[in-house]
Amino acid sequence: MHSELKASYLTELEAARVAEWAGDFQTAFTHLERAHILSQKFALAHTATHLRMLRLGWRTRDVREVLGQSIRTIAALVFSRIWVPVGNTGRANVSAFAPMPVPEDLAEILGKSAVSMVAHNVPKNRRLP
């Protein structure tokens, strides 16, 4: 994972943790959605993001989220290296197969990551270092 991409991903996870700790679960989910967009092509990070969504769904007693994240966590392990719907937020309230618009700031980070990977001849689906 490109250093700026990794830093942005970790920033989103930390923001989600802080929001969850403060009891602001909607904001926590929003940051996890952003982390999901950044991590989709990296199997371990992608899976970890779904696990965090699963935990938050459990904490908020959202049965739909818990069931959806249970399935998506397994799928993230298997399919991250094959295909992901770009921009998908990863929540259980959206189709797991639907591509979605990528927020501009995240698109810029993802674009830099793609350029860096091509320049260094790194496979697109490389795991986190």
This prediction's pTM: 0.86
CA dihedral 31, 35, 40, 42 (to 10 degrees): -160
Question: Got the DSSP string for 15-30?
Answer: HHHHHHHTT-HHHHHH
Q: How far apart are CA 79 and CA 81, in angstroms?
A: 5
Domain boundaries, given as residue ranges, for the chain:
3-119
**What tens digit of pLDDT does each residue of 34-92 get?**
999 999 999 999 999 999 999 999 999 999 999 999 999 999 999 998 999 999 999 99
